[in-house]
Amino acid sequence: MKKMLSALCVAAVGACLLSASVFADTIKVGVFEPLTGENGGGGVQESQGATYANEIRPTVTIDGVEYDVELDVVDNKSDKTEGVTAAQKLVADGVVGVLGSYGSGVSIAAGPIFADARIPAIGCSCTNPQVTAGCDYYFRVCFLDPFQGSVMAQYAFDEGYTKVATIEQLGDDYSTGLANFFKKQFIALGGEIVDQETFQTNQSDFKAALTQIKASGAEAIFAPSSIATAPLIIKQARENGVDAAIMAGDTWYNTTIIDNAGAENCENIAVSTFFDEADTAPAVAEFVAGYKAWLNEDADRISKNGGNDDVVGNVALCFDAYNVLLDAIEAAGSTDGEAIKAALEGIESAGVTGAITFNEIGDANKDTAYIDVITDGSFSFLKTVTVSE
């Protein structure tokens, strides 16, 4: 009996050692995204950017040893409370770093969870200042809403609009934050905010707000909102005779909005964005060609991308964030969170959205945005805007 127990123990130890050996050759990277809920469309696209990056660069070398990189994808459901639960799962799963999220509110909510566990996170497209300002372990590769709001305010003023109305989502950090930065800069330029309308999460009827905007005499509307809400606002505006120009931020740079609102209703809508697939820089062209080919290999990938092979900005940002994280792991020569965080603070990484370095609070040192307009049912590059302008 003792010999049998001894043999079983040896077998168990051997199995454990084998398991540990397999695990030791793999590291986990968390993908913290809304795969469902209001921001599900953008979150799914962003997570596909991580999957593509992982296929292009599936390993990382740490102190001379090559490790497989496994993505641990969780759904934060576009909800702050669910986001905390999803973040806790990633911590329990033992990830060495985190990518995401699409949506600033869930990123802000999850920040303390990652910080307490000393796990660095890199936001891809979460643009609200509070994502990094309140969390030493959060970095990001996109520009921020103060800049984006100023860019769109300057665009509106340059277009000759003197009276603008805003529509913003109550309780949404991205929507209210970006709207406030826009209003502040537009007023500073000499413009007038003639109406400020708000709406609730999951609201689908905007007729009352649009009636107020029409009565205000607004020449243009600034409406930072989700991919799901955008077509409703656009279509109802045109159906109710609101012919004011419409502007928005980065979330509207998505062809699914045109598909759902109707091309005829979207003509000349202007948006700010992080990236334009028409950029002719060699690194951008290579990424765009590779990603389009990858999408077209699988009908499910096309479906998750909104039914087309367009390359949107948040996908490119997630591709960059993945590579920045792996660069930092290799620079640290360790999977220790503190070491990776320290490496991120001094990282210099080439990205398809531009060179990436971080300032003292973890924000990317970026000063350039694209402005695109919708013409004949598709986005067309208008101009690049920098801080100096």
> Residue 24: pLDDT band by 50, 70, 90 thresholds?
low
Apex CA 239: angle with CA 235 and CA 243, to 5°?
90
CA distances from 304 to 27, 90, 274, 300, 327 (A): 26, 23, 20, 6, 28
pLDDT at 278: 84
Residues 158-204 pLDDT 10s: 999 999 999 999 999 999 999 999 999 999 999 999 999 999 999 99
Q: Is the same domain home to 246 and 381?
A: yes
Chain position carrying tokens 């007729």? 207
Q: Is the same domain home to 31 and 89?
A: yes
Q: Is the pLDDT reported for residue 315 higher than 90?
A: yes
Residue 190 falls inside a structural domain: yes
Q: What is the mean pLDDT of the chain?
A: 92
Give which of 61, 74, 98 is closest to 330, Cα–Cα.
61
78: left (phi over 0), alpha (psi -120 to 50) or beta: left
Q: Is the same domain home to 374 and 248?
A: yes
Q: Is the same domain home to 171 and 305?
A: no
Polymer length of the chain = 389
Q: Is the same domain home to 169 and 263?
A: yes
pLDDT at 298: 98
Residues facing residue 140 across a β-bridge:
123, 363
pLDDT at 83: 98
Contact 218, 244 (CB under 8 A): yes
Q: Is the pLDDT reported for residue 8 higher than 70?
A: no
pLDDT at 368: 86
Q: What is the CATH number of the domain that holds 196?
A: 3.40.50.2300
Distance between CA 126 and CA 366 in Å, rounded? 14
Q: Is the pLDDT reported for residue 246 higher than 70?
A: yes
Q: Is the pLDDT reported for residue 18 higher than 50?
A: no
Distance between CA 85 and CA 81 in Å, rounded? 7
pLDDT at 134: 79
